[in-house]
Structure 1
Amino acid sequence: MAGGGFCRLPDGRMVVAVSLPSPGGDGGRVRVLVHALNRARALTRLRNLGLRAVYLRGNAEPPSPDEVTAVLHHPDGLVWRTSPDDRGELWHPIRTLLVAQP
């Protein structure tokens, strides 16, 4: 269901990037970054948050160095933003994406 990719850090941990449909249903996409021990744990973290249909097939869209830096500097190790190509938008904590839509 999602495009994405991953990169292995020097300490063996992984940063996984997944592009998902926007929850607003406007046809847009969000880019989610997860820092975890391995790919399976990264996807499990997303599934535990209610994103059940998240899969990672291949490494077509690996995280950029800027994305890796963003997720490593966030205390939760889990961030997102709506416009992956817009460098002006800041990264948001995942809890703001999962807040119930009005």
Structure 2
Amino acid sequence: MSQIIVRRFVADDARAVVQLVAKTMRISNRVDYSSTYIENALKRLDTAHYLELNQRSHFYVVCDQNRLIGTGAIGPYWHSRDEFSFLLFSLIQLIKVRALGHVS
């Protein structure tokens, strides 16, 4: 039986997050965006980006056992000091994971 765990992002997660987001964007966005557009967007979504995101938000990873399957963050809305939003940065991305029934 799978065990889904949501926990705070740690620096050691950065490389896996980069890989997961890249895989997800290439799958989920290919219908709406060109591969050139996607690859250009991914250039700025490197490990430094996620380490910085962790500094300015409450950044979480979602794991099934020890496998990263999603990310999410709660942080300021457009740098507002009094307005916050839940930012879905590829929450439960992998199509195979969706088929497990954890997320509709």
- For the superposition of Structure 1 and Structure 2, which TM-score range results when normalised by the shorter chain? 0.3 to 0.5
Give the TM-score of the pair, scaled to structure 1. Answer: 0.36
Question: Normalising by the residue count of structure 2, what TM-score does the alignment of the two structures yield?
Answer: 0.35
Which one has a larger percent helix, Structure 1 or Structure 2?
Answer: 2
Question: Higher Cα Rg: structure 1 or 2?
Answer: 2
